[in-house]
Structure 1
Amino acid sequence: MKTLFDETQLSGLNLKNRFVRSATHDGRADALGHVTQELIEHYEELAKGGVGTIITGLTNVTDIEKIVPTQMAIYDDSFIAEYKKLTDAVHRYDVNIFVQLVCNGVQSSSKNPGALWAPSAIEGEPTVAGATEMTKADIQSMKDAFVNGAIRAKRAGFDGVQLHVAHGYLLSRFLTPYYNRRTDEYGGTTENRARVVLEICRDIKEAVGSEYPVLAKINCDDFMDEGLAFAECKRICKMLEAAGLSAIEISGGSALSRPNEGVIRKVTPDTESYFKQYAEDLAEALNIPVICVGGHRDINKLREIVSNTKIEYFSLCRPFIREPYLINRWASGDTSPAKCISCTKCFGVPTQCIFNK
């Protein structure tokens, strides 16, 4: 029978337990996305806390887009030595670390110069305000940036990469019918809207080797009119599996999601693990591991899920902001629920729990 503290393997990588720190904006990089000592210490603290695998905050792969101050980046080779210090610090605690690769698209409030890329420019739509509709050349530049980011990540000692294909960031918007109104091979059918993500996945695997883990975080549903729905998500995940993806983290929601159906929700004992039903369904359909994120608070409920489903891993975000040592606490026998109260007052610069200030 599976347990939460099983040692497992993912693409040949040893994972000491089934707990993952889900990608979380940390707000500790510098103005151009470079590593700071505060960022290194932040990840070292997480590694000390007992989690088996860490996925970094969203890390921009290109400086063609507007650089967001305090967001991590990996757009040129100068980042490699910096991140090597970070990965070395994490690896001292027998913890794996993946870097989450992203293009922000229009979800950027940065005042720095640069593009606000979108699959389509939509007149009168405030969530696409100021967007540049991507040309084929832009799409190729974006694809190259993701591949080069993965190459740098491997050289810097990251154990794998995760593509951010969720929450309304650029790759996610290519999948969403409302945002993607293109009439070329990157728009229209499910296959066309998924094409750029599939091409990036294949190109990365070719560049870094078939054994190097490549994950994706994807919306089960956009929870909005004309959004990506779960039936399409499942089809796309099967395509990604065929393209060589190593694992899927299933999330959901974005800026236009219906109230309390976005990615970050108020959590009560009755609404914990709010993407569990989608992750469970997807785990039955795929042969690669599924990581379930979203509102996990009670270890006893997670034990029930891991015992009765094919879900392999559980990722947490806000609980680790309040309690970086949560997994050590649970492992020691104190299995009271996570102390996070889901107030979502933690996301600032830097990201930190209001109870820890």
Structure 2
Amino acid sequence: MSKLFTPTRIGSLTLKNRFVRSATWENMATEDGHMTDKLYGIYRELAEGGVGLIATGYANIVADEKPNAGMMGMYDDSFIPEYKKLTDLVHQHDSKIMMQLAYGGTKTTYNLGERVIFAPSEVAERGTQTLGKAMTIDEIAYIVEAFAKASLRAKESGFDGIEIHAAHTYLINQFLSPYYNQRTDEYGGSFENRMRFLLEIFEATRKLVGVDFPILIKLTATEFFEGGLTFGETRKICKKLEQVGADALIISGNIHGKAIDMVGESFDGYMLEKEGFFHQYGDVISREVNIPVITVGGLTDIEAIGQIAENTSIECFALSRPLLSEPNLIKRWEEGDRSPALCETCSKCRTKRGNFCVVNKERKAQIAAL
């Protein structure tokens, strides 16, 4: 148990504990992605609540690509002053904060027909059925550069690192996936070619932000369907990312809201568990690389998390929905109240008015008052 509240390092960054707030789209930014008082309030509460490392909701890297309403932006320098205010606020409470950067691609149903949506190939996303435009080489270079420039803005804003979202069927994940990537050029076909887009993003980003600025990569363990990215391929991706200098890996799934119904089922030889849906995958990877591995998904019980920490090499534990219900959860656990999180894993927290717990009545009142 005590290990969870001991310091750890991710690259040059020291965290006060092993708890991460996983990147969560809040749906509370302005129309063009700028900060609001409610967003500042959310992050202040998380920092006050004892979270060691906070990941922001995903931020779009180009102005003309916005997969969700109310999401944060990082596509030009106008964001830097307000994010300096955000990072200063978090640092006042001895927490660290990183910005998640993403190109959503076809994992969206937002404003379809009003914008061009890039994809590796003309293959519809399985959940949304949205079809994107197969990218040209010049368009690939444009997005690579956009990731790097957004990362530099994050560094200039005082963020402690960045998280590149390469999971959950967003654009980078689709390039990695043999199902979505049907290209016949140097960005498709072989496993090495399918990795090229992610590696170019990483290398361009590292060149701009320098060797001491932490870069974390979020990956899908397996795509959980026939013909998709397998866990065996993800393991190879992780080893390559360690080799090129990634600072940590976040191992997730690609089954939003469905994981709880799949507990006990096995995919690629490993089983989804009720506490820590994907931690069996993270455990394997953590024993194959020498950089920190973070597991995310279905973590609500401090005793169970402690057992995973003691019995695996997983370094950190990322939570989202439990912190929507109780932003002070980590502090509560550290101070001795180790009852499980109030979160019921019902996934009803995504509402048109923003993402918040609709079960915890006290929390609903707090959100309304922000």
Which amino acid is the alignment partner of residue 118 of structure 1?
A
Deviations 1:233-257 (A, max 9, x none): 0001111111110000000115798
List per-residue Cα deviations over 1:262-296 (Å, max 9, x = no partner).
Answer: 9xxxxxx9611111110100000001000011101
Distance 1:37 1:273, change over 3 A: same
RMSD (Å) for aligned C-alpha atoms: 2.2
Contact persistence 1:102–1:163 (CA under 8 A)? yes
Q: Could you tell which deviates more after superposition, 238-247 or 125-134?
A: 125-134
Matched, 1:353 2:363: no
Q: How does 1:185-334 map to 2 (within 5 A)?
A: 185-254=186-255, 260-261=261-262, 271-334=274-337
The 1-side partners of 2:2 and 2:330 are apart by 17
Answer yes or no: is the 8 Å Cα contact 2:322–2:341 preserved in 1.
Answer: yes
Residue in structure 1 matched with residue 152 of structure 2 by the alignment: 151
Count of residue correspondences: 351
Counterpart in the other structure of 1:18 = 18
Q: Is the 8 A contact 1:298 1:336 kept in 2?
A: yes
* AA partner of residue 212 (structure 2): E
Q: Are the aligned partners of 2:178 and 2:228 in contact in 1 as well (CA < 8 Å)?
A: yes
Is the Cα–Cα contact under 8 Å of residues 20 and 317 in structure 2 kept in the other structure?
A: yes
Q: Distance in 1 between matches of 2:124 and 2:8?
A: 49
**1:130, CA displacement in angstroms?**
3.8
Cα deviation, residue 69, structure 1? 2.6
Give the TM-score of the pair, scaled to structure 1. 0.93
Q: Distance in 1 between matches of 2:259 and 2:54?
A: 29
Greater alpha carbon shift after TM alignment, 51-60 vs 115-124: 115-124
Q: What amino acid does structure 2 have at the position aligned with 1:282?
A: I
Structure 1 residue 122: Cα displacement? 2.7
1:273-329, Cα deviation, whole Å (9 max, x unpaired): 111110100000001000011101111111111112111100001100000000011
Structure 1 residues 36 and 288, CA, compared in 2 at 3 Å: closer, same or farther? Answer: same
Question: How far apart are residue 261 of structure 1 and its match?
Answer: 4.8
Partner deviation per Cα, 1:165-221 (whole Å, 9 max, x = no partner): 111111111111111100111111111111110111111111110110000110000
Three-state SS of the structure 1 residue aligned to 2:97 is strand
User: Partner of 1:102 in structure 2?
Assistant: 102
- Report the alpha carbon displacement of residue 2 of structure 1 after superposing the two structures with TM: 7.0
- When residues 257 and 142 of structure 1 are mapped into structure 2, their CA distance, relative to the original with a 3 A threshold, is farther
Contact 2:107 2:130 in 1 (8 A): no
Give the residue type in structure 2 aligned to 1:352: F
Give the secondary structure class of the aligned counterpart of 2:94.
coil
Tell me the amino acid that sits aligned with residue 18 of structure 2. R
Q: Which amino acid aligns with 1:253?
A: N
* 1:110 Cα deviation after fit: 2.7
Aligned residue in 2 for 1:51: 51
How far apart are the structure 1 equivalents of 2:67 and 2:284? 37
Query: How many Å apart are 1:64 and its aligned residue?
Result: 3.1
Residues 286, 2 of structure 1: alpha-carbon distance in 2 compared, 3 angstrom cutoff: farther
Give the percent of matched residue pairs that are identical in Structure 1 and Structure 2: 44
Deviation of the 1:259 alpha carbon: 9.0
Rounded to whole Å, the distance in 2 between the matches of 1:216 and 1:66 is 21
- Give the alignment's TM-score, normalised by structure 2: 0.90
In the superposition, relative to structure 1, how do residues 48 and 124 fare at CA in structure 2: closer, same or farther (>3 Å)?
closer
1:193 aligned partner, one-letter code? R
- The amino acid that maps onto 2:41 is E
Structure 1 residues 133 and 252: alpha-carbon distance in aligned structure 2, compared to 1, 3 A threshold: same
1:145 and 1:171, CA in 2 relative to 1: closer, same or farther beyond 3 A? same
Tell me, which stretches of 5 or more residues in structure 1 are unaligned? 263-268
8 Å contact 2:109–2:128 — kept in the other structure?
Answer: no
- The residue identity in structure 1 corresponding to 2:184 is T
Q: Secondary structure at the match of 1:41?
A: helix
Match of 1:342 in 2: 345
For 2:355, what is the secondary structure of its paired residue? coil
Q: Give the distance between the partners of 1:257 and 1:94, measured in 2 at CA.
A: 35
Moved >6 Å (runs of 4+): 123-126, 255-259
Deviation at 1:26, TM superposition (A): 0.8
Contact 1:224 1:258 in 2 (8 A): no
Q: Which has the higher mean CA deviation after the structures are superposed, 74-83 or 127-136? A: 127-136
1:66 to partner: Cα distance: 3.9
